[in-house]
């Protein structure tokens, strides 16, 4: 039995979490999985796993020496054969920092493009590449995501799966009184950009009174209320409906005629694949890396070639597809053909090869016997110290520090907390 420890910053119903659930459910029984997350227990919003899978909810932020040692102790107590770090944020560096001198091979699995993950490191490529280099193997979703890797021989490419759903959308409903545009994603206006979708729809709502827009998702960051407010402000309550997260994804998707996905960036966009698996044509932005690897413009959907917040162009793309029943039918057929390239079997076999290769490195792994120079490099670069210095000079951080200084100087902490609570509501 090979013991696999998977570290993920979050454990909620999201893309990375669904992939972990797929791995655990479908991998060979010679693998035993444990999950370590910095999230909190929330059964309603977390995937159910087999009873033998242990989940540890622990917090290691801020990543002080004390928390680093706590994480190190947790890893030693779990005693895995292989550690897999899944993510696309700065958090991917923690496991490496806590595992120096331990005999556990590390696989860093990045779930976004090089460009997008670098933003989370404020484009400090020394820090970013040092974190990658500390791993024994690196995993990416698409080969194009590894173009800037400094050490490509350690990179393994395994694409995410698209599971066929037992539903089919009817994108052409001549007798239907209402046709639907479906959107499913957590409410996150910075990444998923539901506000762009609502504003885009508002520009053509009167032209298409027989169409509705339905949005579904978990409210991770308080964006759901903002979308509800925007719908009310734009007087769209009769055509735009804002829902909570759902379990029956396939059933909901099958009620639609178009899937709209205006994300600014994605690693893959699992829900886009799910939409295609029921035969929905997709409208998305051409510059959304990951999604633009699945959606082929003019074949199974429309990729909008404009800025990532261009409501006019996104609205025009929706309008064209809403107005063209034959094009929706054509794209629907092609969408169903597309998913054959993303099979679950390829995903599982690819990851099992990664597990086995990493296991062969146990006791010979990179972090077990570091030289003094390498140790110093880990302490300075992979620790994020240089990154923190860069971050402290970013405009956002400078403004934040100035505001905080003024609040403390004028003793306005209570007022600031009151305003913050009112704003969050």
Residue 393: the pLDDT is: 59
Residue 284: the pLDDT is: 98
User: 291: which residues sit within 8 A by CB, 6+ positions away?
Assistant: 261, 263, 266, 268, 269, 272, 282, 284, 285
Nearest to 254 by CA among 272, 281, 279, 273: 279
pLDDT digits (tens, 9 = 90+) for 345-373: 999 999 999 999 999 999 999 999 888 88
Are 249 and 259 within 8 A, CB to CB? no
Residues of the chain with pLDDT under 50: 420, 422-425
The topology under which CATH files domain 179-341 is Rossmann fold (3.40.50)
Tokens of 36: 């370590």
SS3 39: coil
Measured in whole angstroms, how far is the alpha carbon of residue 99 from the centre of its chain? Answer: 25
The domain locations on the chain are: 2-159+344-389, 179-341, 394-424
Q: Give the integer Cα–Cα distance in Å for 318 and 194.
A: 14
Q: Give the integer Cα–Cα distance in Å for 110 and 116.
A: 11
Write down the residue that tokens 């820090």 correspond to.
Answer: 127
Write down the residue that tokens 């800037």 correspond to.
Answer: 148
Measured in whole angstroms, how far is the alpha carbon of residue 365 from the centre of its chain? Answer: 28
Are 143 and 158 within 8 A, CB to CB? no
Give the C-alpha distances (Å, rounded to integers) separating 123 from 152, 190, 310: 20, 18, 25
User: 49: which residues sit within 8 A by CB, 6+ positions away?
Assistant: 21, 24, 35, 55
Residue 15: the pLDDT is: 86
Q: Which CATH architecture has domain 2-159+344-389?
A: 3-Layer(aba) Sandwich (3.40)
């Amino acid at each position: 039995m090979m013991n696999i420890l998977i570290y993920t910053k979050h454990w909620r119903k999201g893309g990375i979490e669904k992939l972990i659930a797929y791995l655990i459910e479908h991998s060979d029984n010679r693998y035993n999985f444990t999950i370590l997350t910095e999230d909190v227990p929330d059964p309603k919003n977390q995937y159910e796993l087999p009873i033998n899978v242990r989940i540890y909810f622990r917090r290691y932020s801020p990543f002080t020496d004390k928390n680093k040692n706590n994480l190190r102790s947790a890893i030693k107590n779990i005693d895995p054969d292989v550690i897999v770090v899944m993510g696309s944020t700065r958090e991917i560096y923690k496991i490496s920092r806590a595992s120096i001198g331990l005999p556990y091979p590390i696989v860093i699995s990045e779930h976004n493009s090089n460009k997008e993950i670098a933003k989370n490191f404020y484009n400090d490529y020394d820090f970013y590449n040092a974190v990658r280099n500390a791993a024994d193997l690196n995993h990416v979703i698409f080969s194009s995501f590894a173009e800037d890797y400094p050490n490509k021989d350690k990179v393994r490419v395994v694409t995410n799966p698209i599971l066929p759903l037992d539903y089919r959308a009817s994108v052409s409903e001549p007798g239907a009184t209402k046709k639907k545009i479906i959107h499913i994603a957590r409410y996150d206006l910075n990444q998923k950009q539901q506000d762009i979708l609502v504003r885009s729809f508002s520009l053509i709502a009167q032209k298409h009174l027989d169409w509705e827009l339905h949005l579904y998702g978990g409210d991770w960051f308080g964006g759901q209320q903002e979308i509800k407010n925007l719908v009310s402000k734009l007087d769209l309550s009769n055509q735009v409906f804002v829902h909570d997260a759902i379990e029956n994804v396939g059933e909901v998707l099958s009620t639609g005629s178009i899937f709209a996905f205006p994300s600014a960036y994605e690693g893959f966009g699992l829900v886009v694949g799910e939409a295609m698996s029921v035969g929905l044509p997709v409208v998305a932005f051409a510059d959304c890396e990951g999604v633009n690897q699945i959606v082929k413009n003019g074949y199974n959907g429309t990729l909008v070639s404009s800025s990532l917040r261009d409501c006019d162009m996104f609205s025009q793309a929706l309008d064209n597809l809403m107005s063209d029943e034959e094009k929706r039918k054509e794209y629907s057929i092609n969408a169903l053909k597309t998913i054959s390239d993303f099979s679950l079997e390829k995903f599982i076999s690819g990851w099992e090869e990664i597990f086995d290769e990493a296991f062969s490195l146990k006791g010979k792994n990179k972090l077990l016997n570091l030289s003094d120079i390498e140790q110093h490099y880990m302490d300075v670069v992979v620790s994020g110290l240089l990154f923190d210095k860069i971050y402290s000079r970013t405009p956002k951080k400078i403004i934040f520090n100035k505001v905080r200084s003024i609040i403390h100087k004028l003793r306005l902490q209570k007022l600031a907390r009151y305003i913050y609570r009112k704003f969050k509501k």
